[in-house]
Structure 1
């Protein structure tokens, strides 16, 4: 496994940087254009969630090279208020903000592996993996 880096998420400019770095890592991993778009979209949604709901956080981008399989693992971490009801938060249309309520559930559909751990009052970690086809 090689590192794609760790980035802060503290502003809209950081979300743009996350999108750029994830796209670069997806290209390096041999992702199709469709899979690049899926993983970048998921990364953008998860980074925005960290910024909007937790006041910021960080993401680590890891290129996985398990020959012959290649992929990306992204881990978003924050120290925000946490998610009290994960099942509800993963329901399409449920939101605590003014959005469409598709951020977490939509991100989950765009990747191959999705793991969410949240402790109210301590923060949230979302780890997603997308494999090149």
Structure 2
């Protein structure tokens, strides 16, 4: 698989979340994603960027164009040096909602994207890689 980094956004405030969401949507549009898929990509970007801000206070979002097996797509990489996520894969699969939470976060983002992988180490940080392919 080949990749081309198109943009890296530092997440340190709510304004950065908005910037990441807008950048992901615009890059998805330029790559040829439908309006519905653009909204899915933007929503996943917003949710996972918010997780960076809430749980780690800061981190980065990298947006890449990807190519594999005659397919094109978009890859979103969310990285932080926060506390890590206990039971990350279980949370990403779980549809239950904690009191006071929107319930969208990891599990909702997984449903919106074609692929989502979580690499996390308690006390070190988290890296979430999401991919969506053009249809």
Q: TM-score, normalised by structure 1?
A: 0.92
SS of 1:118's equivalent in the other structure is: strand
- Deviations 1:19-46 (CA, angstroms, capped at 9, x unpaired): 1110111011100001101111001100
Count how many residue pairs are aligned between Structure 1 and Structure 2: 132
SS of 1:74's equivalent in the other structure is: strand
**Does residue 74 of the first structure (1) align with residue 76 of the second (2)?**
yes
For structure 1, the 5+ residue unaligned runs are none
Q: 2:20: which partner in 1?
A: 18
Mapped contact 1:93–1:100 kept (Cα < 8 A): no
Mapped contact 1:6–1:61 kept (Cα < 8 A): yes
Q: 2:95: which partner in 1?
A: 92
Runs of 4+ in 1 over 6 A off after TM superposition: none
- Taking the aligned partners of 1:2 and 1:119, their CA distance within structure 2 comes to 27
Alignment RMSD: 1.6
- Taking the aligned partners of 2:4 and 2:118, their CA distance within structure 1 comes to 23
Mapped contact 2:89–2:118 kept (Cα < 8 A): no
